[in-house]
């Protein structure tokens, strides 16, 4: 009888723990269009796969009357489960308990599940919905944040780390998601900032709303802090599941291979005519991407940020590949500070997790102007060059149209250890465009001509001469900088064959503690 009573007590305690901060607070969470921590975990993981840890942990604080208010689990749900049958560690902050504020014991729970993820070699997903540090606990709460940050840093490049912001994330709390590989935010309900609107107003006098200061639109489109913006939590959970399907469990494994019915040798005749005859006219690079990847499926990362460059994941013959591509449809595909930084981080992620890289090039150069120079375009451009040069995963580069100046070097050229560098017959590889080149090369002769008609004719003749020499890929191919010039409609087949050949690639960088990338 006594043992039965103990079992009943256990069952009652479990039910109590699952109620978080109580029915009233759960109802309040639902009224805001938000799910509870456990509902979010169930939505994210395979049905019935979640195994919870530390359900009975409570805080240890005796300040400001907090000793009289304790909840089992202490504001965060932690454990592990599976996504498509593959193990994932997960934690979800529970806003119904002290507003999800971080305590010493809450930090210990998060650190424990992150340590387990490192031990198992599996991804960790963190769901953030927190009012910040638990003020009553003072410095122990701050120490808890730092313990989490240190684990984020040590896990970087070892296991994939994904952060879902499904509510507030403010103050020191923002730095843990910022240290992870991918950040996802929901419209309307999530926001991130180091200092809130009230502090901003009191210090700077600026009057700004929460949404305008740190909402999903701001961080997905302006700051680049958020890699994904979704309309609701259901969409966010499905997107994270899809993202995980492209990633290996850790840095010692390969990404999973999916079954595909898309033929390797599928041709797309439309690619032969997709490039406009006028080199100044745009086209949509995503049309090319969707045409060549398996089943036209492309998971774009940072879709709303630095839209002059495209990054994301796709599959070729079932194999996961990271794609970086200039976008002529936005700012002519020019490289600027934001685009360089966005692409560099993506290249380094792919390299860390053994994901081959495909680069599609149509870049007229770096964006000129004092604004870019003052913002450090030299350093940001160097980041992208460094990332490509350091990467040891298989790298295929295809020059679609323009590849001018320093931007040619930066976009995974042969000299940055590009494995196979191909070009379409529409490729133009040169130091600069024809008009600019003729101004430099023939400026003195042009200035000597006084008759305007004769001057125009002379410039046109020299531009035509320059284009005949450089507005094609054959000179670069004659030096071996381009391995082959391929028919556009056959691009998919050539990519797949090249990646198949590179499966046994072995390249090791020089021994060092770590590189000193130009940050």
Greatest CA separation found in the chain? 111
Catalytic residue among 81, 171, 214, 333: 171
Residue 509 CB neighbours (<10 A) = 11
- In the numeric block, which tokens belong to residue 360? 């599609």
CA of residue 467 relative to chain centroid, distance: 37
User: Is position 224 annotated as part of the catalytic site?
Assistant: no
CA 282 to chain centre: 25
Q: Indicate if 407 belongs to the active site.
A: yes
Q: Cβ(78)–Cβ(110) under 8 Å?
A: yes
Burial of 421 (0-12, 13-18, 19+ CB in 10 A): buried
The residues, any chain, with a CB within 8 Å of residue 179's CB and separated by 6 or more, are 149, 152, 153, 156, 161
Which residue in the list 220, 387, 407, 471 is annotated as catalytic? 407
Q: Is 508 buried (19+), middle (13-18) or exposed (0-12) by CB count in 10 A? A: exposed
Question: Angle formed by the axes of helices 37-44 and 233-245, to 10°?
Answer: 40
Burial letters for 367-376: b for 16+ Cβ neighbours within 10 Å, e otherwise?
Answer: beeeebeeee
Q: Which residue has the tokens 């976008």?
A: 327
Q: Mapping DSSP to helix (H, G, I), strand (E, B) and coil, where does residue 75 land?
A: coil
Task: State the catalytic residue, choosing from 196, 318, 406, 436.
Answer: 406
For this structure, is 22 an active site residue? no
Structure tokens at 230: 């979704």
User: Which of these, 186, 136, 134, 141, lies nearest to 164 by C-alpha position?
Assistant: 186
For tokens 């639109």, the residue is 217
Bridge partners (DSSP) of residue 440 are none
Q: How far apart are CA 487 and CA 194, in angstroms?
A: 51
Question: Is the four-CA dihedral 167, 111, 90, 20 of positive or negative sign?
Answer: negative
Q: Is 171 a catalytic residue?
A: yes
Task: Give the separation between CA 282 and CA 275, rounded to whole angstroms.
Answer: 8
The neighbour count for residue 22, using CB atoms within 10 Å, is 13
- CA distance linking residue 9 with residue 15, whole number of Å: 10
Q: Helix %, strand %, coil % for the chain, to 5?
A: 45, 20, 35
Strands (E), 445-516: 484-485
Closest CA to 428 of 486, 469, 487: 469
Q: Which of 172, 224, 318, 436 is an active site residue?
A: 172
Residues marked as catalytic: 171-172, 406-407
């Amino acid at each position: 009888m006594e043992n039965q009573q103990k079992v009943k007590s256990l069952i009652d305690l479990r039910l109590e723990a699952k109620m978080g901060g109580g029915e009233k607070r759960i109802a309040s969470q639902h009224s805001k269009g938000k799910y509870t921590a456990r509902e979010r975990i169930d939505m994210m993981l395979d049905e019935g796969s979640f195994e919870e840890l530390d359900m009975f942990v409570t805080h240890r604080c005796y300040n400001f009357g907090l000793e009289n208010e304790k909840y089992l689990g202490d504001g965060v749900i932690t454990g592990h489960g599976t996504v498509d049958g593959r193990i994932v560690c997960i934690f979800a902050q529970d806003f119904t308990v002290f507003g999800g504020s971080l305590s010493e014991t809450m930090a210990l729970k998060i650190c424990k599940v992150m340590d387990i993820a490192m031990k198992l070699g599996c991804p960790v997903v963190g769901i953030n919905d927190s009012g910040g540090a638990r003020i009553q606990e003072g410095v122990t709460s701050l120490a808890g944040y730092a313990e989490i940050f240190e684990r984020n840093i040590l896990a970087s490049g070892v296991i994939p780390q994904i952060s879902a912001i499904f509510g507030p994330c403010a103050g020191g709390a923002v730095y843990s998601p910022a240290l992870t590989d991918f950040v996802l935010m929901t419209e309307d309900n999530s926001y991130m900032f180091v200092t809130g609107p009230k502090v901003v107003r009191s210090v700077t006098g600026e009057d700004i709303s929460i949404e305008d200061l740190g909402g999903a639109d701001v961080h997905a489109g302006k700051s680049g802090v958020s890699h994904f913006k979704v309309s609701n939590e259901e969409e966010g959970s499905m997107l994270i599941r899809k993202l995980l399907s492209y990633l290996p469990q850790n840095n010692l494994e390969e990404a999973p291979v999916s079954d595909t019915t898309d033929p390797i040798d599928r041709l797309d005749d439309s690619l032969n005519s997709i490039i406009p005859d006028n080199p100044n006219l745009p086209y949509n690079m995503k049309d090319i991407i969707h045409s060549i990847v398996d089943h036209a499926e492309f998971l774009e990362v940072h879709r709303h940020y630095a839209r002059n460059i495209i990054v994301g994941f796709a599959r070729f013959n079932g194999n996961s590949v990271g794609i970086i591509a200039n976008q002529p449809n936005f700012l002519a595909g020019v490289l600027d500070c934001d685009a360089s930084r966005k692409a560099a981080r993506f290249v380094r992620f792919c390299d860390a997790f053994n994901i081959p890289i495909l680069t599609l090039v149509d870049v007229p150069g770096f964006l000129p102007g004092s604004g870019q120079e003052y913002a450090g375009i030299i350093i940001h451009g160097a980041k992208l060059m460094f990332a490509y040069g350091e990467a040891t995963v298989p790298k295929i580069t295809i020059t679609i149209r323009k590849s001018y100046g320093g931007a040619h070097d930066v976009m995974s050229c042969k000299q940055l250890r590009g494995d196979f560098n191909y070009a379409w017959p529409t490729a133009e590889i040169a130091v600069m465009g024809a008009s600019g080149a003729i101004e430099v090369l023939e400026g003195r002769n042009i200035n000597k001509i006084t008759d305007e008609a004769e001057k125009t004719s002379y410039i046109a003749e020299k531009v035509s001469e320059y284009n005949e020499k450089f507005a094609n890929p054959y000179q670069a191919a004659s030096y071996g900088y381009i391995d082959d010039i391929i028919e556009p409609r056959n691009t998919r087949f050539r990519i797949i064959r090249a990646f198949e050949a590179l499966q046994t690639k072995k390249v090791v960088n020089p021994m060092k503690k770590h590189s000193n990338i130009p940050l």
